[in-house]
Amino acid sequence: MKQLLYCLLVVLFAPPLAAADMRFNMTPGVTEISGKVYHLHMTILYICCAIGLVVFGVMIYAMINHRKSKGAVASHFHESTKVEIAWTILPFIILILMAIPATKTLIAMEDPSDADLTVKVTGSQWKWHYSYFDQDIDFYSILATPRAQIDGTETKGENYLLEVDKPLVLPINRKIRFLMTSEDVIHSWWVPAFAVKKDANPGFINEAWTRIDKPGIYRGQCAELCGKDHGFMPIVVQALPEAEFEAWVTEQKQAAGAAAEAAQAALSQTLSKDDLMTQGEQVYLGHCAACHQPNGEGLQGVFPHLKGSPIATGPLSGHLEIVLNGKTGTAMQAFSKQLSAQEIAAVITYERNAWGNNTGDAVQAKDVNEHMNGSAGTQAPATAPANTTPTPAPATEPAAVVDSATIVDPASLPTLTHEALMAEGETVYTTTCAACHQLTGAGIPPAFPALAGSAIATGPVANHLDIVMHGKTGTAMQAFGKQLSPQQLAAVITYERNAWGNNTGDTVQPADIASHGQ
């Protein structure tokens, strides 16, 4: 009998005792919270093992010592008050003992206050967009696994489907707050080593936080079924010592300046069609092939084909418009902020000449820039076919984004009607502001204040201009002076001051934006 009990003890307690070294068990991770989650998991496991030991021990003892072959006679009893009280109180006590540490851990997981760094994480099919608040750093992180490995023509690498072109870089020993949202469908940002798994919902902001203890590279992936390429949406985080992180921030700002200079220089360059096709193929495989397929045939009923399509073989202006600004109500994203003018020129050239399209067009960066600035239609590309007639941009199309800190002559900016500003402002608000302040302007207090009836949206216009253009330190409110053009800023402020019953009657013009603070 004793040997049997010893064997039972070994069977029940050997797994939890060796759990830390087991491949399939939860890992302690590299953060304080992940450690708490791991220890909570192990505590609950030990409690379950103890319950199993008692229950199965009593069952086995009863079966061995009270079997019929030993002459045992079953007792007859009904409605034992003591038994009913016991099996009600004991589980209640056990649940309380389990709930206390679980509640403490959950409360700690949901406390993003007093963060040293805030990062906005935006999911879109199928990439992550990271924005560092107060750092003027943002970039897209895209799957870097070669297409040949995915197609099975090459041996799969060590980090197959868990590698990206640009990892999220974070400092260790600092509290980092994440704001999660989405541009299209529900995604979920999950890094097991941090014990962070939070849904990214379109139109809403969810919060999470972490403080990383050890430098290293940590991998995760989207944990929500977000579409056909759900498995191609990895997360890679590179944790650096604080000094190295500050150096990285400096490098990123210098790289951004160099990229801006290169983009400006590209406007005066004319590349050969072969060079554009080579670059365009790489851009297409990295950003477009997931939906439209490497062969340009798309997925019928889901993603339209580009091979022989009216977009890829029709007027160039229509092709530029949909690549730059996307298409509302579909999975087609706007790539104007994701790719440089040179990359967009190359990928459009590739799409218009690959798979037998053969339009002969060679789109240059200056053509893309002209379309973005609303001057498309003034002249067609030199290599465009004679029957390609670009459509002039609408008169109310927003001007190119400029730094509002740059001195701009207010007299050079247009004066728009109140109705035109409200229409454009609603569009800007929906795409830029509604994730925090909600479509109804009700916000998500206390994290994101309401704009409906707020002191900012109904008070002095100067205060409204200042907080939208320059943000608010210590909060999630970003500075939009470098993200939106004067016309877009004027439109969204006009909208916020007259929507949801605010009805101030104010009409803010682009000239007011340009003159603010000068």
Average pLDDT, the chain: 85
**What average pLDDT does range 85-89 have in this prediction?**
91
Could you identify the residue written with the tokens 């139109």?
203
**Helix, strand or coil for residue 120?**
strand
What is the sign, positive or negative, of the torsion defined by CA atoms of 454, 458, 460, 461?
positive
Please give the pLDDT value at position 259.
83
Please give the pLDDT value at position 82.
86
Of 219-223, 389-393, 409-413, the poorest mean pLDDT is in 389-393
Residue 368 has pLDDT above 70, yes or no: yes
Residues 6+ apart with CB under 8 A from 128: 121, 122, 140, 141, 168, 189, 233, 235
pLDDT tier at 8 (50, 70, 90 boundaries)? low
- The H helix count followed by the E strand count for the chain is 17, 10
Residue 421 has pLDDT above 60, yes or no: yes
Of 39-48, 153-162, 393-402, the poorest mean pLDDT is in 393-402
Total residues belonging to the chain: 518
pTM of this structure: 0.63
Of 188-192, 397-401, 465-469, the poorest mean pLDDT is in 397-401
Residue 251's alpha-carbon distances to 216, 247, 286, in angstroms, are: 19, 6, 24
Q: Which of 509, 506, 467, 470 is nearest to 488 (CA)?
A: 509
**Helix, strand or coil for residue 500?**
coil
Q: What is the dihedral of CA 273, 276, 278, 283, to 10 degrees?
A: -150
**What average pLDDT does range 268-278 have in this prediction?**
90
CA dist., res. 118 & res. 506, Å (int):
33
Residue 140 has pLDDT above 60, yes or no: yes
Of 73-82, 387-396, 406-415, 433-442, the poorest mean pLDDT is in 387-396
**What's the one-letter identity of residue 163?**
E
**What's the one-letter identity of residue 422?**
M
Could you identify the residue written with the tokens 């009607």?
417
pLDDT tier at 291 (50, 70, 90 boundaries)? confident
| Selected residue with higher pLDDT from 290 and 108 | 108
CA dist., res. 423 & res. 319, Å (int):
24
Beta carbons of 483 and 472 less than 8 angstroms apart: no
pLDDT tens-place string over residues 160-188 = 999 999 999 999 999 999 999 998 889 99
**What average pLDDT does range 388-406 have in this prediction?**
38
DSSP bridge partners of 444: 448
pLDDT tens-place string over residues 372-383 = 887 443 333 333
**What average pLDDT does range 271-275 have in this prediction?**
90
Please give the pLDDT value at position 302.
75
Q: Which of 437, 426, 484, 490 is nearest to 461 (CA)?
A: 490
pLDDT tens-place string over residues 319-341 = 998 998 888 767 788 888 888 89
Structure tokens at 357: 């399209």
CA dist., res. 223 & res. 190, Å (int):
6
**What average pLDDT does range 495-513 have in this prediction?**
93
Compute CA 479 distance to the chain's CA centroid, rounded to the nearest angstrom.
Answer: 19
Residue 14 has pLDDT above 60, yes or no: no
| 490 phi-psi bin (left φ>0, alpha ψ -120 to 50, beta other) | alpha
**What average pLDDT does range 83-103 have in this prediction?**
91
pLDDT tier at 136 (50, 70, 90 boundaries)? confident
Residue 395 has pLDDT above 80, yes or no: no
* Bond prior to 126 in cis (omega within 30° of 0): yes
**What average pLDDT does range 212-232 have in this prediction?**
93
CA dist., res. 11 & res. 423, Å (int):
69
* Phi, psi values for residue 411, rounded to 5°: -65, -20
CA dist., res. 337 & res. 372, Å (int):
11
CA dist., res. 105 & res. 100, Å (int):
9
